[in-house]
Every structure is written in C-alpha cells, then in structure tokens.
Structure 1
Amino acid sequence: MISSDSVELSLRNLSLDDSNCSGSDNEDSKILKWNLPLKDLYRLAFNFYKEKTGKAIHLSYEDNLKLVAFTQQAAHGPLDLTKAPPLGMFDVIGKDRRVAWQHLGTITKLQAMEGFIDLLDRLCPLFKPTVEAIKKDREEKVRQAQAEEARRREQLEKEKEKLVELKKIEDERNREEIQRRQLQDALNQQTYYQFKEYAEKQFPGNPEQQAVLIRQLQNEHYHQYMQQLQAQVASNYSQLRATGDNEMDSGNQLLGQTVSSKEVGQLEYKEQCESDDESGEYAVINPANMWTKPDVKLFKQEVTSGKGDGVIRVGHGDIITVRVPTHDGGSCLFWEFATDNYDIGFGVYFEWGKPVTTEVSVHVSESDEDDDTLEDDEALCADDLECGGQQQHKQYNTSSSSPMANTNPISIIVPIYRRECQTEVYAGSHNYPGEGTYLLKFDNSYSLWRSKTLYYKVFYTR
C-alpha cells in the first residue's frame, strides 16, 4: 500500500513549464476566470497547491493524482504513450499518475487549467480567499502606481508653469529696465548742459568732481520726475480706464514724453527767486537730497529720550509747520522724521529774508484755515495731496491774514507728498541757498479721523 505522504513528497518536485502552459496565442490571454486571466489564475493555483500541500491542506491519494494529471495535461496536452519514457517495474506512483492523466482524454490545455482550478477550489476552501487577497493586493499596487504617476505629472506641470511664470517676470523686468534706461538717457541729454554749467561753477577746474556732481544731479532729477509722473498717472487713472486700454496706452505715452529744457529747469534747480532787495535776485535753489533709514524703532527711542527735537501730535485735518531759520555758523540743513502706524504728507519750503530769530518754532493750522503761506500751491493741488506740483521753485507772497503773514517770497524745495514714514525713517538735507527760514510741512489735512504721532529731528552743519 502506498502512503499519501510519499505522494505529497513527490508532488513537491513538480514544476510549472511556462513555455508550454503560457502559449503565444493572444486570444488565450483574454479568457477570464474570477476576473483574472485564466493562465495567471492557474499559476496562482499551481503555486498554492505546491506550497500548501502537506502544510495547510491535506488531500487524499486519489485527489492528488487528479490534480497532478491536470497539471500534466495543462503542460503537455493529452498523454502520448509512444513518446512517454518507460516506467520502472516498481514505480507504482508513476503508473497511477499516467493512468489518471490518460483518463483526462483529449481536453485542451486551457480546459485542464480550468479543471485544476475548480478541483482545487472544491477540495480547499482557503484557495479562493487567498486568490481574492492577492488580487486586491495587485489592484492596490496598480492604484498606488497610478496615483504616483499622477502626482509626478502634476509636479512636472507645476514646475513647468513656475518656470514659465519666472520667465515672464524676468522678461518684464528686462523690459522695464530697458524703458527706464531709455527714459533716463533722454532726460540726461536734455539736462546735461544745464547741469554742466552749474557743476563748472561749483568745481572750477576739476573735471572729475564736475562729472560726479552732474551724475548726482541727473539721478535726482530722474527720481523726482518719476515721482511726479506716478502722481499724474494716479490722478488720471479713472479717466484713462474709462476710455479703454488703447487710450490708456496713449495717455501713458503722452505722460512719458520727455520734458523740455524749460520744464527741467523748473523741476530741478535753475529758477531764480526775485526779491525787492538791492541785489535784485536770490541764489539758485538747489534740489534737496532725500533718503531713508530702516531703524525706525531706534530713531523713535532717541527722539523720545531727548536726543532729538521732539514728538508732536498732529491732529486729523491739521498741518504742522516747523520753522527752522538759517544759522550764521551753518551751511546745510538736515532733517529726519517718522510716525506711528500711519503715513503723513511732507514737504520743504524756503522763505527768503533775514530771519528775525534763530529759534526753531512749531505752528499748527487746521485744514479749513487754508494755509495762506502756500496759497498758490494748494490751489494747484486742491483735489489731491499727492499731486505734488510741477513748479518746484514757484514764488508767491503770503496773505496778511495768516498767523505767519509776511511779505517775503517762498520757494518750494520738496513738494508735499505722502510718505510711508511709519515703516522707515525719512531723512534729507539741503544746502543753504541764502538767508531765510526753512518751512518743514507735515500735512495731515487729508485724514478725516486719524491723528498722527510725529517724531522729528532738525540740525545744521557747517
């Protein structure tokens, strides 16, 4: 009697002949069983049977013979005794396997595969759940691979869009830089001879210093011109927008036209102030130097601790005027200021005439008092504080009704613009044009509700 253990041991030596059972027919791969290709399912069943026999499953001798017969039929087709190798006299198992194989008759390889799967499923209840688990695992791997591929494609698209956006930004910067250089070159050509004449007077016989001064004046002129241009564009924005994009471009081109030599002289440095004294004229008003500093907190601490001129509360709708007379021992005025939380308007004017005192004084006026000292300038900028004004050296007399009433002419050095002095310290300097009094204007007239805390310092140098 042959034991089932010896049969099971011999079954472990079985191998799946992929070259025979897989075939090359494309139609065979379309045959499905349990939603899996039949040949793939057969491989899973064969491996399960080979690995689990004697461990998780225990089959009878006859059942093992049937399963082995199906594997032989699936691998080699029907039994051909003429081609089968001879068996030994005592090879009982081999004879029984051939008999079981021969009983399968002429069924095809695919039918043998399906018969093996059905028989194994009937004999072993664990087989189908195992196949389902393997199938789910495969589907999950496929899903993860697809999700990873989708994420990779999405990342590539984002990187591509980012590169395109960076390219656009770079092109826009290059275009703006080209336009800036073209505009600055045009302005420099118009102002060169005027600035050269001025530099020759300041540094006679020193071409290097003259060139440095000319370059400084040209840079200051360009920045002031751009500030006025931006203010004009802002004031006309709504009208340009209503007329459409084409007219906006035309308006920008019109505003971007280079100024005439007369306008350059008015904007920068050359207009002279006439007076009633014996000389008949005042010195040329030079442009002021303006810059900013980042240490706002430190500056406020210095002013608060008494190292600066002081702290002023500028009420809503008010205008503060700090009057700083020229000093006999000085040649240049410096100023620095900052505010808490909000911006404030700032401008510098010069009142011609010998000061009656050397003391710095502060004058407060409300917006409805209509600061008569700057009557003509306010008429020019009545609707928009930020419009600045293009005649920077215009002269006019003050009204006798003003608290600071006098008959001395006043020149505009720095037009009033709103300054973001809550984020950085605004500073500047100006060389004395002659004897007179500087008027530092801190304008909060545009604010209907907010008062501003102003920190300021003024001093002179020799």
Structure 2
Amino acid sequence: MMATGTDSICISEKLENLEVYTENINGSIKENVVKDILDCDLPSDKVYKLALCFYKEKEGKAVHFSYEDKLQLVAFSQQVAHGPLADVVNKLPVLGALDVVGKDRRLAWQKLGNLTADQARSGFIELLSRKCPLFATYIEAHRREQKERERRSKENEKRRLFEEQEKVRREQEQKLMQEQKEKEEAIRRQIQQALNAQTFDQFKKYAEHQFPGDPEKQGALIRQLQDQHYIQYMQQLQGINQKSMDNENGDEIESPESEKLRSEWVDTNEVNESSHISSDSAVQPASMWTRQDIEAFKQSVSEAEGHGVVRVGHGETVTVRVPTNANANRIFWEFATDHYDIGFGIYFEYGTPSSSQVSVHISESDDEDVDEIEDEVYEDDIASKDPESGPVPSSEASSKPILTEVVPVYRRDCHNEVYAGSHVYPGVGVYLLKFDNSYSVWRSKTLYYRVYYTQ
C-alpha cells in the first residue's frame, strides 16, 4: 500500500516539528550546562585555563570541532592573550599570500572587536561547552578535586594547629615536671644533709671500729651507711603518709610513731641548717642499715671469743639481754644467718640492770617457764606468735618491768646481707634483742651476731 502526496507532506511537517522540538530541548539543556559551568565556585580564569587545556588535549582525539568552531575558539584565545587585533596588528608578522588559514583566523579575531579579556574567556568557555558536553564533566571533576584538596588542607591545618598546641602543652608539662624534680631534689638534699649531720658521729665510730687505721674505707662505709639511712628514713616517711591517708579515709587515730616522724619531717624542712632532727618522744628511733660482706662478717664472728654464734631451733625464740653501760650512750648491733631468714626486733626494759654481762635466753613459744619472771615478761608481753603480725602490747601490771618497743619484730632477710643498727640509750636499763624463729615448724637457724657500745 503506497502513501498519497498529502500523507507525505503531513509526515514531513511532523518530522520538522520534532526536529525543532528536539533542538529546543537540547538548546535548553546546553544553556543550563553552560550556566552551571560559568556559575561554579571555580574562578573564571581557572575555568578558562582548564578549558584551554581540555581543548588542546582532546581536539582531534575525543572531540572533533568544525572549521568555523576552531576559528572562533582560536580567536577567543588570541583576544585573551593579546587583546584586540587592532592594538597588536603592527607587531604581528605579515601573512603569506597562500596562508588561507592564517587569514581566516585573523578575520575571526578582528570580528571580536574590543571584546574584553573576561568576555573572551566567557565566550571560549560557552562555545566549548555547547560543542562538547564532556567539558562539563571535566570541570565538575576538577571542582570536586579542588574541594577535596581544600578539605584536606583544612584538616592538615587543624592537625598542625593541634600538634602545635600539644607540643606547647608537653613543653609546659615537661617544664613543670623539671621544676618539680628540682624542688624535690632540693628537699632531698636538705633532708639528707640534716640526717648526715645527725648520724655522722655514730657512723664514724662504727666505721672506725670496722676498719681501724684505714680512713679511705672508713669514709666509703660512712657514705654507704648515710645513703642507706636516708633511704630507710624516706621509706618510713612514705609509709606513714600512706597510713595517714588511710586513717583520713577510715577516721582512724594516728599513732605516736607517725606523729613523731611527721614532726621530724617538719623540723627538717623548716630548719635547713640544723644538724639534728627534733623528736618529741623520749625514745628516739633506731638507725638500721645493711651490708653486703656477709661471709666476711660470719667468719669474723665465728673466730671471735664469746657466744656470737647461736643455733635457734625451730619454734624457738632467742633473747639477747644487753645491759646499758655507764661509760657509753649508744648500742650497736650486727647479725646474719645461714640460708634462711629470721624474725628480729628490739625492746628496752627500764630499770637498773642486775648484771653488766650480756646474756642469751632461749625459750619456746608453746612452753613457757612460769617459774622465771624474765621468760614470762619477754615471751608473754613482747614476742608475737608470728613476727609478720607485729608486736603484742605489753602488760601494764605493776609487778612487771616497763618495756618499750624500739624496733618491732619482723622477719629479716639476714641470710642475704648483714643487718646492722644503732640506738641512743633512752635511759638506764636492758636492751632485749629478740631473734624469733617461732614461725618455723621444721627449720633451725644458725645466728651470727655482735653487740658493742659507743659514746
């Protein structure tokens, strides 16, 4: 079946209308794309540079332009680079008679007249956008890339500022820590100087007794004893401070020993040049230290005369009674054991000694001799069943001597090093050196000890 002439005319009109409608839609879309490119947040000169670069890279490869479009784009680029043709025509080289392309380019450039550089950029961008839809995608990719760079730049700047702040904070903290260390070091030297001044005489006498006629070894021993005495003092002070904090939390009452050492701490800090640390108690704290020459010490005690070596059986407690001497004011002691530790503590019994001789008493914790008052006093009122549990308060019965705790009974690692110490007489009486092995069920201990006086 063949169409008539009237039908052919109707079909042609419909096709023309469809083409016009399609061109209008495409034109509207292109106008929107161009408007989006020109209104993007990128600077116009930046968009122009991107457009010029896109044209040079893609022309003839991904994109093909007509001859007239190429002339127009070149004219826009020349207007941007050099301005109107009339201003630079005298500076341009003369074209050849056969250079048709050059003449067409100058003619297109000349038609732009006095168009400004910004207008020429906009014309280049608009023409490129209309003829190549891929350019909009190209610009959008660059725009997103620039936003991402700006975002990373801001993050890096924030990170840099944060790191600078952290650096300043760390420097301030280090400065404060350094100042705190300097203050603590100054306090440490202050306390150590006061303690050294207090104990120098007694340590000097002890060193002279240990190394007679050897000033170099005496000086080294004095320094060692002073350092150990300072460490022990600070440990005691730290323990008292911790106990004080516990008491504040538990509403407990502070012990007289804590008040005494706290008084020593205050006096040491307030009286910088004082050579003595004050004490409100009649019984001053004992000075204790350790030495490493345990084998030489045990050999020296074994070779000496007297009862310096004692075997303390399992479950037994040995009490060494040392009466005060009228020609001295301080007692010194040293002891060590073979292989195992032993409990050690000191008590002082006020009263005129019945004898001037040092005596040794051995008792069993489970079998007291009630017929002897001494054993009753020493075992019931002083020794605890376990040295780790601390001392048991003494009885206040008027028939028993007054006893004062000088050093509490605790287990000492005297099988590793020599334990030594000294104490100033609190009055006339007898020192009770307790060597407690009552906690040991099977092991006996060999004890090496030495006691002497100084003024």
TM-score (norm 1): 0.55
Moved more, 110-119 or 182-191: 182-191
Pairing 1:332–2:335 present:
yes
How far off its partner does 1:222 sit? 2.9
Are the equivalent residues in 2 in contact too, given 1:196–1:214 (CA < 8 A)? yes
* Rounded Cα–Cα distance in structure 1 between residues aligned with 2:339 and 2:230: 23
Pairing 1:112–2:113 present:
no
How far off its partner does 1:120 sit? 0.6
Residue of structure 2 aligned with 1:439, choices 431, 436, 440: 436
Structural RMSD (CA)? 5.2
Give, as a single letter, the amino acid of the residue that structure 2 aligns with 1:333.
A
Give, as a single letter, the amino acid of the residue that structure 2 aligns with 1:60.
S
Residue of structure 1 aligned with 2:233, choices 213, 225, 239: 225
1:62 aligns with: 68
How far off its partner does 1:165 sit? 2.4
- What per-residue deviation string (whole Å, max 9, x for no partner) do you get for residues 11-52 of structure 1? xxxxxxxxxxxxxxxxxxxx9742211111111111211221
Give, as a single letter, the amino acid of the residue that structure 2 aligns with 1:323.
T
* Rounded Cα–Cα distance in structure 2 between residues aligned with 1:240 and 1:208: 48
Give, as a single letter, the amino acid of the residue that structure 2 aligns with 1:80.
A
* Paired residue secondary structure (1:105): coil
* Paired residue secondary structure (1:332): strand
1:299 aligns with: none
Pairing 1:193–2:211 present:
no
* Rounded Cα–Cα distance in structure 1 between residues aligned with 2:415 and 2:183: 30
Alignment of 1:225-244 (within 5 A): 225-237=233-245
Residue of structure 1 aligned with 2:284, choices 259, 263, 266: 266
Give, as a single letter, the amino acid of the residue that structure 2 aligns with 1:91.
D
How far off its partner does 1:376 sit? 7.5
* Rounded Cα–Cα distance in structure 2 between residues aligned with 1:431 and 1:239: 32
TM-score (norm 2): 0.56
2:10 aligns with: none
* Paired residue secondary structure (1:355): strand
Change (3 A) 1:196 1:398: farther
How far off its partner does 1:129 sit? 0.5
Change (3 A) 1:111 1:289: same
* Paired residue secondary structure (2:129): helix
Alignment of 1:40-439 (within 5 A): 40-80=46-86, 83=90, 85-200=93-208, 205-237=213-245, 255-258=265-268, 259-260=277-278, 266-268=284-286, 287=288, 289=290, 323=317, 332-334=335-337, 348-349=344-345, 353-356=359-362, 373=379, 375=381, 414-415=407-408, 429-430=418-419, 438-439=435-436
Give, as a single letter, the amino acid of the residue that structure 2 aligns with 1:41.
V
Aligned residues: 328
* Paired residue secondary structure (1:267): coil
2:325 aligns with: none
Change (3 A) 1:67 1:124: same
* Rounded Cα–Cα distance in structure 2 between residues aligned with 1:432 and 1:205: 22
How far off its partner does 1:97 sit? 1.9
Residue of structure 2 aligned with 1:460, choices 442, 447, 455: 447
* Rounded Cα–Cα distance in structure 1 between residues aligned with 2:415 and 2:167: 41
* Rounded Cα–Cα distance in structure 1 between residues aligned with 2:158 and 2:420: 67
Change (3 A) 1:235 1:155: same
Are the equivalent residues in 2 in contact too, given 1:349–1:438 (CA < 8 A)? yes
* Paired residue secondary structure (2:360): coil
* Rounded Cα–Cα distance in structure 1 between residues aligned with 2:441 and 2:39: 86
* Rounded Cα–Cα distance in structure 2 between residues aligned with 1:164 and 1:373: 60
* Rounded Cα–Cα distance in structure 2 between residues aligned with 1:194 and 1:255: 21
* Paired residue secondary structure (1:323): strand
Change (3 A) 1:457 1:264: farther
Give, as a single letter, the amino acid of the residue that structure 1 aligns with 2:126.
D
Q: Which has the higher helix share?
A: 2
Change (3 A) 1:427 1:235: same
* Rounded Cα–Cα distance in structure 2 between residues aligned with 1:192 and 1:262: 21
Moved more, 102-111 or 195-204: 195-204
* Paired residue secondary structure (2:126): helix
* Paired residue secondary structure (2:267): coil
* Rounded Cα–Cα distance in structure 2 between residues aligned with 1:337 and 1:223: 25
* Rounded Cα–Cα distance in structure 1 between residues aligned with 2:383 and 2:278: 22
* Paired residue secondary structure (2:284): helix
Change (3 A) 1:39 1:252: farther
Which segments of 5 or more consecutive residues in structure 2 lack a partner in the other structure?
A: 1-36, 252-260, 269-276, 293-313, 321-333, 348-357, 368-376, 423-430, 450-455
Identity %: 37
Are the equivalent residues in 2 in contact too, given 1:289–1:428 (CA < 8 A)? yes
Are the equivalent residues in 2 in contact too, given 1:199–1:213 (CA < 8 A)? yes
Change (3 A) 1:65 1:179: same
The structure whose Rg is larger is: 2
